[in-house]
Amino acid sequence: MASISFWGGVGTVTGSKYLIQTDRARVLVDCGMFQGLKELRERNWQEPPFNPRAIDAVLITHAHIDHTGYLPRLVRQGFHGPVYCSRGTADLLKILLPDAGRLQEEDADYRNRHNVTKHAPALPLYTEKDADASLELIKSTTNIGERFQVAPGITASFRVSGHILGSSLVLVEIEGAGADRTGRHVSFSGDLGHYDQPIIQDPTPPPLCDYLLVESTYGDRLHDPEDPKIALARIINDAAKRNAPVLIPAFAVGRTQEILYLIRELEDENLIPVLPVIVDSPMAAAATTAYANRKEEHDEEYVSILRSQRHPLRTRSMVTASSKAESKRLNDAKGARIIISASGMMTGGRVLHHALRLVPDPETTIVFVGYQAAGTTGRRIQNGEPEVKILGQWIPVRCRIEKIGGFSAHADWQEILRWLEGLKENPPKRTFLTHGEPEAAEAMAGHIREKFGWTAEVPTYGEKFELL
């Protein structure tokens, strides 16, 4: 007998946690942090609905915090088993988890200093040290389908899911789980990539399975048809003509590398002039190195550029600021230039120092290349608010504002259907829609029923299903 319980990534895109239980083992797939709405974030602080000490192993689909950010907390609560992930994911976790711990500590510290806490003293969810302890448990492997033992009676394999570096589909095989004592296969899409995304490979076709969990972030939306490369060229050319700066707030992992790749390509094709490109985020610099080093994950185009002796993630005039002093010096630069800095939604990080100077400047163009969540400074600027508060100061928003909607690391609903085509001849017994807001998940279930006639359902938080 085996079962699966949904402890996150249902009714929301955050907090992904799926628990597989058999008579002999307990395996958690993803260990994400809840983000966004307060009632979701509070779950990070509650007692977990399962005993962390009783979990045999954790399998990780990819490094994003909404899939991994609870791991240090789990370790703090006594989990000490292996954490399996792909090599690319392990590279990124070494960058992301200690940073998440540091942010938790800074946040608790801020609350204590400013007395804005109901709990005295405010404590971090976990510390950088907890994050380091969780990194010790990582066992990385390939994501080309090789099977490995996870726990008694449970094996797994990873395949490329094309979302970010290292992102993987996870196929779990449970020995003798069925009523007839045959094995059962449960497949997890993780976050499914957008086809033809630069740098990394397209999603691998889905492996055959009895039960399928598929994400539905864009279950009710299609991507903007405007090619982001063309939009980027238009904006850069316009700024170059006016000898004016371009500020791009971008997520350090994934989006920054994609932007660098496109700017390099535009330069190679002589579609834009060569401008100084300043990558001002230590995390982005580290992630760029990880992307460049993890050769087995690169797509064909990336490999062919490497063969022509060029660096695909390096523009012709590029500076990476690593120290704070360097960052400040770059702040004083003048003229046409492209500054890429995190955080992507302007909720923190060095982008704020650039914004303080450039947002009031009518010549500057600020370009949003990712989703801006409600309440963030990025969203306020994008919405055209006349003034925003940055680093404690109110500043007028006078810069030009552009938004490129075509960037996405997720498949939209048509691409998810395209991916699922691979299972048309041998459909899963049950398909569960995960990782979507309620409307998106329902819409995706509807698309699947309509196109394939499968049983597609949207689980609720804490719901448990027998894997018969």
Give whichever of 64 and 255 is closer to Zn ion, judged by the CB atom: 64
Q: How far apart are CA 342 and CA 287, in angstroms?
A: 12
Q: Where are the alpha helices (DSSP H) in 69-207?
A: 71-76, 87-113, 128-135
For the bound state, the minimum distance from the C-beta of residue 354 to Zn ion, rounded and expressed in Å, comes to 26
Give whichever of 64 and 73 is closer to Zn ion, judged by the CB atom: 64
Q: How far apart are CA 47 and CA 123, in angstroms?
A: 15
Sign of CA pseudo-dihedral 226, 231, 233, 237: positive
Q: Where are the alpha helices (DSSP H) in 218-323?
A: 228-241, 255-268, 282-293, 300-307
Nearest to 188, CA basis, from 92, 37, 85:
85
For the bound state, the minimum distance from the C-beta of residue 164 to Zn ion, rounded and expressed in Å, comes to 6
Nearest to 458, CA basis, from 443, 442, 446, 447:
442
Q: How far apart are CA 165 and CA 158, in angstroms?
A: 13
Q: Spell out where 413-454 has E strands.
A: 430-434
Give whichever of 191 and 220 is closer to Zn ion, judged by the CB atom: 191
Query: In the complex, which residues of this chain contact Zn ion (CB under 5 A)?
Result: 64, 191
For the bound state, the minimum distance from the C-beta of residue 78 to Zn ion, rounded and expressed in Å, comes to 27
- The one-letter amino acid code at 234 reads R
Do the beta carbons of residue 107 and residue 124 sit within 8 Å? yes
Give whichever of 192 and 321 is closer to Zn ion, judged by the CB atom: 192
Give whichever of 35 and 117 is closer to Zn ion, judged by the CB atom: 35
For the bound state, the minimum distance from the C-beta of residue 310 to Zn ion, rounded and expressed in Å, comes to 29
The DSSP call for residue 43 is G
For the bound state, the minimum distance from the C-beta of residue 13 to Zn ion, rounded and expressed in Å, comes to 8
Say if residue 86 is preceded by a cis peptide, omega within 30 of 0: no
For the bound state, the minimum distance from the C-beta of residue 62 to Zn ion, rounded and expressed in Å, comes to 6
Give whichever of 189 and 315 is closer to Zn ion, judged by the CB atom: 189
For the bound state, the minimum distance from the C-beta of residue 167 to Zn ion, rounded and expressed in Å, comes to 7
Give whichever of 69 and 312 is closer to Zn ion, judged by the CB atom: 69
Residue 81 CB neighbours (<10 A)? 21
